[in-house]
Structure 1
Amino acid sequence: MPYEWFKRSIETSGATRRIVILDCCYSARAFGVQSESVAALAEIDGTILMAAAAETAVALSPPGEPHTAFTGELLELLRGGVASPNEFLDLDAVFDQLTRRLQTKGRPRPQILRRSTWPFARDQQHTPGLRDHRPSATLDADTR
């Protein structure tokens, strides 16, 4: 799908936070020079791009599983939560856990490009009474 098809919707959206998840083979190519128009999306404040696989890696759709490896693990993580003192998971925590889980299973390592992070989902393992730690408001754009 050409990037231009959804770029306008993202740029003109009234949303202050935008997440673009690319769950396809070679999806991190979106971060590279050959896809400058997609990488420019990260220049829109409040936008985070997550890619299921490196620019030279195929994404997996394991036989017998209802979702791709990336989406299946992301859904499991959000449903089950992580051991954390925070009530909400920010995208850094989600990405770090997702990366660990996928690598443990020998699956493609996801990539991320962002200018900021913010609470993303309620942590299902949050223990009330522990001191909350809020994520920093902005981070430099980087890929992992």
Structure 2
Amino acid sequence: MKSSNIQSTQDWMDFVKEKKSARFKAESAKFKSMKKRQLPHTCSRKGYTRLAEDMCNGSDQLSNATNDQVVNNIATNPIGTSPPSINDNNTLRKCTLLDWGGTGEVVAEGRWSSNDPKVTVHHVPLGPHAVRVYMDLPKKSNAILWRPNS
């Protein structure tokens, strides 16, 4: 099965002799074993040495884990998600919305969003002395709500 780029029979015989030599077979086996041990390419900041160490440590933990532990780990840490790295202090605070007429009756429960006068609500700036809230639980359906006029 001679390749088309080899012109003479002598060149072909030299090529076959080279590929069957002990030196070539040893070198080929060396590169095959290197290829088997090669790590998959990742664009990690850790580099290959630390990545290899982490993968080895992780495989020891996986081999000792029971099926229930693996399922629990997947359920609590889904693949593709990571724990938040930034402490989010912008969580919306809970609040109660009182009747606008001044009776003190709670008409809804919600979350405080902003009291910035420049924030828009339905494309209208909020303005001074107003607060944007998200209503979670209405308690009185016929309550009158204040809103800025456009």
Pair in the same fold by TM > 0.5:
no
TM-score (norm 2): 0.17
Return the structure number with greater relative CO, CA threshold 8 A, min gap 6.
1
TM-score (norm 1): 0.17
